Each structure stands twice: as C-alpha cells, then as structure tokens.
Amino acid sequence: MPKQQRKLLTATFLDRLSRLRSDSKILITVSRLGRVGEYAERIPLADPGMHSVYCGSNAYVGEIDRIDVRVIVYHVNTDLIVCYVDAEDLAHEWARKHRIELLPGGGVLRVIEMADDLGVVGESEERFIELGPEDRYPSLLAERVRRSIDNGGLGG
C-alpha cells in the first residue's frame, strides 16, 4: 500500500502568515494543496523539490500597498511541507536559499540556509503541524491556524 501524503505547516510559514493583513486566499490555497490539478510552479535556481503557488494579492499588516503573494512548498518523498509565504520576489529568494530535511521521529524538521556559493550559512530545527482530513475545509483550517498564531505559533 502506498504511503499517504502528509501536508505539514512549518512555524516559519505561520510566522510569515501572521504578518499579512488577510489570510483567506492563502488558507484556501493551502487547503487545496496536493489535489489533482493544483498548480505549483518550479522555482529557477532552487532545490528541485521547492515549488511556488500563487495566492492572489495581499498587504502587510499596517500597510496599504498590495503585493502578489506566493506560498512556498517543498516536496520530500510523499510529504508536502508548507514552508513560507510572502511577496513573490521575497518568497522565491527564500526558496533559493533554503533546504529542508525531515528529521525522524516527530514533528521537527531541519531548515538549512545556503549562501550563493552553496555553502551552509546556518541550520535550525523547526516544529511543524500536520494537517488532517478536516483541514481540507478552509474555514476549519483557518480556525486551527489562527488559534496557533494567537497562541504564539508552534514554539521551540
């Protein structure tokens, strides 16, 4: 029997999401990730597993200027890791400079920051939450995500 795909939301994604004014389009996109026909584009010069998904326009909290928002997802084995969300240029730059590794035995992954010459700048361990079947409904996912953000994210 093939392994079931998991969708994982990282602490970095939740932190970046909290900086945007409205998250409804983003959470609808996240709830649909992994479905047949969902379009994710490859990011030039990024790890082959990194992809970008367009989420419409948004603005940073306290700002009025609109930005085109992208969610960065990383495919590893059968898992889909939702890593980052921001303005398109910033999101793609983040994707080009980071690698993700799932650590065995729990809700932790390793985030590796790379320099332009492909040397490692830094590594950190980050918690994630695994989305369940109920999270395919945007309103239920929104409740869960907003509760997590209100409680200070995923902690360390």
Residue 147 lies in a domain: no
Name, in order, each residue with C-beta under 8 angstroms of 21's C-beta and a sequence gap of 6 or more. Answer: 58, 59, 60, 61, 63
Give the other-Cβ count within 10 Å of 21's Cβ.
12
Q: Is the pLDDT of residue 34 over 50?
A: yes
Residue 74 lies in a domain: yes
More confident residue, 74 or 37: 74
Residue 1 lies in a domain: no
Residue 29 lies in a domain: yes
Residue 104 lies in a domain: yes
pLDDT bucket at 156, cuts 50 / 70 / 90: very low
Q: Is the pLDDT of residue 17 over 90?
A: yes
Residue entry with tokens 């995923």: 154
User: Tell me: the pLDDT tens digits for 121-150?
Assistant: 889 999 898 998 888 888 888 888 888 887
Q: What is the percent of the chain with per-residue pLDDT over 90, rounded to a whole number?
A: 51
Q: How many domains does the chain have?
A: 1
User: Tell me: the pLDDT tens digits for 83-109?
Assistant: 999 999 999 999 999 999 888 877 789
